[in-house]
């Protein structure tokens, strides 16, 4: 039996985990320059109050704590504000891969002006309450995305996940197809069924759905006014036979994605080796678990995953400048400890892209967190609002 290492020794090992080869953390000056449209400037950028990283609200990136952490594995270059404006397809004066039915104004200043009909579509794939005690509210996820990006969000109707014998199928009704970008010649009055690849363990009765087959099923049925379509599910997902699980994946060029909240449930534990071994833990205080802390935790984790992935679909890369919602993660533990908020670099990107008022957005976020008893997040937003409104530049 291996010896238990002392706390001092463990601390030394944790502190000694290096960054991935070639990665150099940005300096304070580089991070501040990344916020504005300035590169290698001899003078420091003049930052409006809402983009100032001071006030104790945005920490520098942490040193990796273990070899599986994101920056211990990947040498990320980082995307500054100037790079985002230059490369983001949604900011281009040319219409991106959007259906011909959707209006486009090349001289618009943000995505709402360029694509005035555009919406984010969310699709509930399978029941969220599929026998589990804890699951996020689909409608609250819709509301959170609306607040976070200040873009219209609609639920895509007429798509179901059905079990047919040993098969699992995505069933798309004529109602869903009538809203899609298919031409009238291709549009059918028949219900379409797509059989999904999956794997199932009869001993543990655990099911995983294949990501690629889901994305292939959804690609032809993107609504005509969609910016993109994201399917959300409580079913576990995988992509490769060697995968333990996959939280999700987006096909950016096709503007579709699928994400699972199955492993975000705080009342489960699972094997680090076998995909099919998951244990659901009962809680003695069932009411507290269902309606209190557990419910808030899974909603918080689900909201964070969802807006992070939407950020990628909107053109945001992983963030290396500060602790930020857009940081990458190498595993769930790292994912769970990351913040729910955009750092000044990424806030500036999204502010420009979506054309929102930062203070109004923070106020709406505060009310959302208050309603769902997310005390830590509510306190953070309140502090940031006070910093902005007081014009504090310290």
Q: What is the reported pLDDT for 394?
A: 43
Rounded to an integer, the average pLDDT of 96-117 is 91
* Residue 184 banded pLDDT, cuts 50, 70, 90: very low
Q: Is the pLDDT of residue 218 over 90?
A: yes
Are 348 and 45 in contact, with CB atoms under 8 Å apart?
A: no
Q: What is the reported pLDDT for 179?
A: 59
Give the rounded percent of residues in the chain with a pLDDT score beyond 70: 86
- Least reliable range by pLDDT among 28-42, 76-90, 178-192, 284-298: 178-192
User: From CA 289, how far away is CA 303, in angstroms rounded?
Assistant: 19
Q: What is the reported pLDDT for 392?
A: 58
Q: What is the reported pLDDT for 15?
A: 56
Place of tokens 């001993």: 203
Residue range of the domain that includes 212: 99-287
Q: Is the pLDDT of residue 123 over 50?
A: yes
Query: Angle at the Cα of 136 (from 130 to 138), degrees rounded to 5?
Result: 90
Q: Is the pLDDT of residue 107 over 60?
A: yes
What are the tens digits of pLDDT across the range 249-262?
998 888 999 999 99
What one-character DSSP code corresponds to residue 272?
A: S
* Residue 2 banded pLDDT, cuts 50, 70, 90: very low
Are 165 and 198 in contact, with CB atoms under 8 Å apart?
A: no
User: Is residue 239 situated within a structural domain?
Assistant: yes
Beta strand 198-201 pairing with 192-196 = unpaired
> How does 361-393 read in b/e, with b if 16+ C-beta sit within 10 Å?
bbebbbebbeebebeebbebbeebbebbeeeee
If you average pLDDT over every residue of the chain, what do you get?
88
User: Is residue 121 situated within a structural domain?
Assistant: yes
User: Is residue 186 situated within a structural domain?
Assistant: yes
The two three-digit tokens of residue 346, written as one number:
């990424």
Q: What is the reported pLDDT for 133?
A: 63
A 10 A CB-CB count for 72 gives 18
Residue 169: give its domain's CATH number: 3.40.390
- DSSP characters over 174-193: HHHHHTBS--TTT--SS-EE
* Residue 281 banded pLDDT, cuts 50, 70, 90: confident
Rounded to an integer, the average pLDDT of 303-322 is 97
Q: What is the reported pLDDT for 213?
A: 96
Q: Is the pLDDT of residue 1 over 70?
A: no
Q: Distances in Å between the alpha carbon of 51 and those of 34, 138, 311, 365?
A: 11, 31, 18, 17
Q: Which residues contact 365 (CB under 8 A, 6 or more apart)?
A: 147, 148, 377, 381
Top pLDDT among 227 and 186 is at 227
User: Is residue 32 situated within a structural domain?
Assistant: no
Q: Is the pLDDT of residue 125 over 90?
A: yes
User: Is residue 161 situated within a structural domain?
Assistant: yes
The two three-digit tokens of residue 360, written as one number:
């109004």
User: Is residue 251 situated within a structural domain?
Assistant: yes
Rounded to an integer, the average pLDDT of 303-323 is 97
- CA-based Rg of the chain, rounded to a whole angstrom? 22
Q: What is the reported pLDDT for 7?
A: 44
Place of tokens 């304070």: 28
pTM for this prediction = 0.89
- DSSP characters over 132-145: -S----HHHHHHHH
What are the tens digits of pLDDT across the range 159-169?
999 999 999 99
**For the chain, how many structural domains are there in total?**
1
Query: Angle at the Cα of 136 (from 134 to 140), degrees rounded to 5?
Result: 150
User: Is residue 199 situated within a structural domain?
Assistant: yes
* Residue 183 banded pLDDT, cuts 50, 70, 90: very low
Beta-bridged to residue 235, according to DSSP, are none
Q: 93 in helix, strand or coil?
A: coil
User: Is residue 212 situated within a structural domain?
Assistant: yes
Beta strand 206-210 pairing with 198-201 = antiparallel
Q: Is the pLDDT of residue 186 over 70?
A: no
Are 262 and 126 in contact, with CB atoms under 8 Å apart?
A: no
What are the tens digits of pLDDT across the range 34-56?
999 765 556 666 899 999 998 88
Q: Which residues contact 120 (CB under 8 A, 6 or more apart)?
A: 145, 149, 151, 152, 153, 154, 226, 227, 228, 230, 310
Q: What is the reported pLDDT for 3?
A: 40
């Amino acid at each position: 039996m291996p010896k238990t290492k002392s706390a001092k020794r463990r601390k030394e090992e944790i502190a000694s985990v290096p960054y991935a080869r070639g990665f150099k953390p940005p300096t304070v000056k580089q991070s501040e320059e990344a916020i504005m449209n300035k590169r290698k400037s001899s003078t420091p950028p003049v930052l409006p109050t809402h983009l100032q990283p001071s006030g104790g609200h945005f920490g520098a990136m942490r040193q990796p704590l273990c070899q599986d952490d994101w920056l211990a594995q990947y040498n990320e270059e980082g995307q500054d504000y100037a790079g985002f404006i230059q490369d983001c397809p949604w900011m281009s004066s040319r219409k991106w891969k959007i259906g011909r039915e959707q209006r486009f104004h090349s001289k618009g200043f943000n995505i709402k002006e360029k694509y005035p009909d555009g919406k984010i579509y969310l699709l509930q794939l399978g029941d969220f309450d599929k026998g589990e005690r804890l699951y996020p509210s689909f409608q609250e996820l819709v509301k959170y995305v609306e607040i976070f990006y200040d873009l219209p969000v609609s639920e895509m109707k007429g798509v179901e996940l059905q079990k047919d014998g040993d098969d699992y199928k995505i069933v798309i009704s004529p109602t869903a197809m009538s809203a899609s970008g298919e031409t009238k010649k291709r549009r059918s009055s028949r219900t379409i069924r797509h059989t999904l690849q999956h794997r199932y363990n009869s001993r543990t009765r655990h099911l995983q759905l294949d990501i690629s087959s889901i994305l292939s099923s959804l690609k032809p049925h993107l609504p005509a006014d969609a910016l993109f379509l994201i399917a959300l599910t409580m079913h576990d997902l995988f992509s490769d036979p060697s995968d333990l699980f996959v939280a999700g994946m987006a096909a950016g060029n096709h503007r579709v994605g699928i994400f699972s909240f199955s492993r975000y449930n705080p009342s489960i534990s699972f094997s680090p080796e076998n995909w099919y071994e998951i244990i659901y833990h009962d809680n003695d205080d069932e009411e507290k678990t269902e309606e209190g802390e557990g419910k808030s935790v899974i909603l918080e984790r689900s909201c964070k995953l969802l807006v992070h992935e939407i950020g990628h679909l909107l053109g945001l890369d992983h963030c290396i400048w500060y602790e930020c919602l857009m940081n990458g993660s190498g595993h769930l533990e790292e994912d769970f400890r990351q913040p729910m908020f955009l750092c000044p670099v990424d806030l500036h990107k999204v502010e420009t892209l979506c054309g929102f008022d930062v203070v109004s957005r923070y106020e709406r976020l505060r009310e959302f967190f208050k309603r769902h008893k997310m005390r830590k997040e509510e306190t953070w937003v309140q502090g940031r609002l006070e910093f902005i409104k007081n014009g504090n530049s310290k």
